[in-house]
Amino acid sequence: MTYLGNVATGRDNNFNLIRFGLALAVMASHAWPIALGPGTVEPLEAALGRSLGTLAVWAFFALSGFFVTASFEASASPADYLLARGLRLLPCLAVSLVLVALALGPAVTALPVATYLRAPAVWGFLARNMTLLRPEYGLPGVFAGNPYPAVEGSIWTLGHEAACYALVLLAGMAGLTRWRRAMAGALAATRCFGS
């Protein structure tokens, strides 16, 4: 019998294609509220009861759970796992935030550039979003006329991602990641108690 774990190692699989398709689904889902404003019902939402973006994010989290658990199992220690997860998330987040706040923001803000750069909200955007605790989605004068004026709207997922990293760490340290029945029970519990 061929197991998913056997074909998931290396790069000879279709996970990147699946991720690409999910990313396109999220982008398509975000197009409606960005263009028409918050609360806009997407075409598939009425039929499925969930937006295409919500379904894609769930799939992303399922795939991530698979790979993050594999990362824990391959790590030499919990500290190595935390380092790997931190290096996976934080450098790209920092680059994205700096580019958005200090390159995109000054280029498109309705404020004079000097006023924009002196605004505490710009620096708060960088600091708050690096902590992942209370995301800040907008910048002063940037996309203010848009129905949905966010510049980093999808950043809300990163706090949940970090929390999942911690849950995998705790489950792994407790030995639960090696117990198939325990993991199946945890999955069933999230489905029963989650929305």
Q: Which two tokens stand for residue 49?
A: 């009861």
Cα torsion 174, 180, 182, 187 to 10°: value is 110
Count up the domains in the chain and report the number. 2
Q: What is the pLDDT of residues 117-163, one digit of tens each?
A: 999 999 999 999 999 888 999 999 999 888 878 898 888 889 888 98
Domain co-membership, 118 together with 165? yes
Domain co-membership, 172 together with 93? yes
Q: In the prediction, which pLDDT does 195 show?
A: 47
Domain co-membership, 124 together with 146? yes
Domain co-membership, 153 together with 179? yes
Domain co-membership, 49 together with 89? no
Q: In the prediction, which pLDDT does 15 show?
A: 83
Domain co-membership, 69 together with 134? no
Q: In the prediction, which pLDDT does 38 show?
A: 76
Domain co-membership, 109 together with 195? yes
Domain co-membership, 21 together with 108? no
Q: In the prediction, which pLDDT does 113 show?
A: 97
Q: 56: phi > 0 → left, psi -120 to 50 → alpha, else beta; which?
A: alpha
Residues of the chain with pLDDT under 70: 1-12, 179-195
Domain co-membership, 66 together with 84? no
Residues 47, 71 contacting (CB under 8 angstroms): no
Domain co-membership, 46 together with 98? no
What span, in angstroms and rounded, lies between the C-alpha atoms of 104 and 84? 29
Domain co-membership, 119 together with 185? yes
Residues 126, 98 contacting (CB under 8 angstroms): yes
Domain co-membership, 152 together with 109? yes
Q: Looking at 74, 108, 125, which one is the last position of a domain?
A: 74
Domain that holds residue 194: 77-195
Q: Looking at 49, 74, 99, which one is the last position of a domain?
A: 74
Q: Looking at 74, 100, 116, which one is the last position of a domain?
A: 74
